[in-house]
Chain A
Amino acid sequence: MAPRQSTPPAVLACGEIRTCLLPARQALDIRSAAQLLGLRADERVLLSERPGLYARSPETLTGVDCPLPSANGARVRAVGTVTAHAALTEGRVLQTSAHCRMPGTGPDQRRPWGEYLVRPGVVEPLGKLPRDAVAQGVLGGPRHGDLDVGLIADGLLTRVLRHPLLDQRPPFRSRPTRLRWAALPAAPGEGPALERFTLAEDELRTVRLRVPEGTAGADIAALCDDLALHDWLLTTVVRMLDGLRLGAGAAHDAGAVVRTLRPAVDHLLHLWMPGARVGRELAALWDPLEERPGFTRQWQALVQRIRDQLTLHAIPAAHREVEPAP
């Protein structure tokens, strides 16, 4: 078989991100972060300190040869590699993110493995790709045995969480979230668009995007990492406030309010920077989310609520515990 010269352009990109609190009492400094994320000896961890501390591991590749998920039951086999990385924001929030791109058509038979290896992050269908059905299948959740980029993200997360640097004493309890995304090509001449952002189950979010042809998979993944990070922050802080018993009945334990909210101040409130690590073109996709439901608006309301609660509890109890007249 003569090697092929090029791959047709990708018509579908998809990925999944796991986001969780780093299980360590202290946030990691930049050197420890580099140690944690040094997944490969031959490549360095990307570190940046502006606008916040951020570390990203080298990309790892996972070979796959399995059917693609599809909403209409079509069984299309695909072969290639899925790329994945781990990232740590402010030494505190850990994410693992796996993604791949798929061309509209691939060779009818499986090619020698070397041909797939030279196209990292590309998964090629055998034959034609039923693009829309696969996009829907990815977002709906793959069946057992189908290509599941979420499993690859989860495997990487498990690997990072086993690192001896972590003392497994998180400053507060929280839930990890998953964000699945699929990006389809935008109509010619159109810019990128966020078609849908859903909160599917308690921990699962799905995002459907349109991107101009030629948008790099890594750029889309960076946008989705950023969405996942901020969605996790919102979810986590909302739950923290949910767990609070407020009002005069709970006033005897003012310490509880401060104990519950303090971790937010210590570890989370300074992390809110939507779009900070997203390319300019895709950063525009934040705009619709800011309009409705208004991520930053909700965040600011939460921050204000936390500050008000803490201020209230700084007032000596004798003055605070006045029952409002009925």
Chain B
Amino acid sequence: MLVFAASDKGGTGRSVTSANLAYQRALTGDHVAYVDFDFGSPTAAAVFDVPGAMRGTEERGLHSYLEGETAEPVRIDVWRQTEHPLLRARPNQSGRLVLFPGDAGGGEFATGEEALERCVDLLLKLNNEFDVTFVDLSAGRSYAVDMVLDATAHPRMRNVPFRWLVFHRWTRQHVIAASGLVHAEHGIIGGGVERGHDEDELRAAIRFVRAAVPDPESPLWSQGSTAQATWMQACDEALRRLAAEQRIGDSVVLGIVPLEPILQWQEQLITEEDVLSTQIANKETLEALEEIARRLTDDTHWGRL
């Protein structure tokens, strides 16, 4: 299965959350690919802690591959090449976790017919090799989004299952923007239909993930005043109403990732160790990630509503 990770704005936690979902799927035994189509600002190498492996890949990343300058994009075996001490001991019974990095210097670029064919070649190859392939897309209605909408409408891809995750933060502006990315006239659904996708099928394959959501009940805020608590509750309720009006209400939410202090400081994978031994991460965060990773392939959370 292909999973496209999109967001309207930067800073929504799209890359770090989808990298964590990839990690969680690999822990359960799936072979997982993580494809960095965030052409403007590739960050996956930092999340997976493979900076050393990135040296010398400037010319053989996905950007060069799509432009036809290299026949095969670089792949980085995360368990083997990470500098993260905990990840290096590949957990027993885990599947492979392979990162396909973008080029260090590559920006957005115009897609052409041949780049599209190469994109289809790559996605098919990955789908034949990996159980789940995460594709992290540049924010907004980017070339990356257009390209995968084109690719998934291509006749060669007709039998390849795919799903979309749209990440957004839990604020007024982010809720409106995420809804626009999907539902606006030339949004993901509109743009997909223009390219030959079936509207209902595409809609059924899109779910939202709310990231960095402050939980008013959380001990993080227990020091606050009553007035603050009341204000937060009211905000939360107003946002829920807004999300429902914007057609991104609870029924199309795959999961909610709570505000996690360590992710505010550093984009990283959250391991069991971070929760249990060093206790720098919250149990709720890890549980949320595990649950979203599980729901990705649980059909009861997908489909037409």
Contact = CB atoms under 8 A, between A and B. Distances in A.
A23 B128 contact: yes
A155 B157 contact: no
B241 interface: no
Interface string B55-85: 0000100000000001110000100000000
Given A155-B71, A162-B156, A168-B160, A173 B129 contact: yes
Interface centre among A154, A161, A167, A245, by most chain B C-beta atoms within 10 angstroms, is A161
A141 interface: no
Main secondary structure of the interface of A (DSSP, over half): loop
Interface in B239-263: none
A176 B71 CA distance: 15
B159 interface: yes
A75 to B, nearest CB: 20
B31 to A, nearest CB: 7
Interface string B105-133: 00000000000010001001101111100
A21 B124 CA distance: 13
B266 interface: no
Contact of B59 (A144, A169, A173, A175): A144
A212 interface: no
Interface centre among A155, A168, A170, A175, by most chain B C-beta atoms within 10 angstroms, is A168
Nearest to A175: B129
A215 interface: no
Contacts of A162: 117, 121, 156
Interface in B209-252: none
B71 A151 contact: yes
Interface in A138-159: 144, 151, 154-155, 158
Nearest to B130: A173
B278 interface: no
Nearest to B70: A144
Given A155-B71, A245-B93, A174 B159 contact: no
B120 to A, nearest CB: 8
A173 B117 contact: no
A161 B121 contact: yes
Given A21-B128, A164-B155, 12 more contacts: A155-B71, A161-B121, A161-B124, A162-B117, A162-B121, A164-B156, A168-B124, A168-B156, A168-B158, A170-B128, A173-B131, A176-B125
Interface of A: 20-21, 23, 144, 151, 154-155, 158, 161-162, 164, 167-170, 173-176, 202, 243, 245
28 contacts: A21-B128, A23-B128, A144-B59, A151-B71, A154-B71, A155-B71, A158-B121, A161-B121, A161-B124, A161-B125, A162-B156, A164-B156, A168-B124, A168-B128, A168-B156, A168-B157, A168-B159, A168-B160, A170-B128, A173-B128, A173-B129, A174-B128, A175-B129, A176-B125, A176-B129, A202-B77, A243-B29, A245-B29
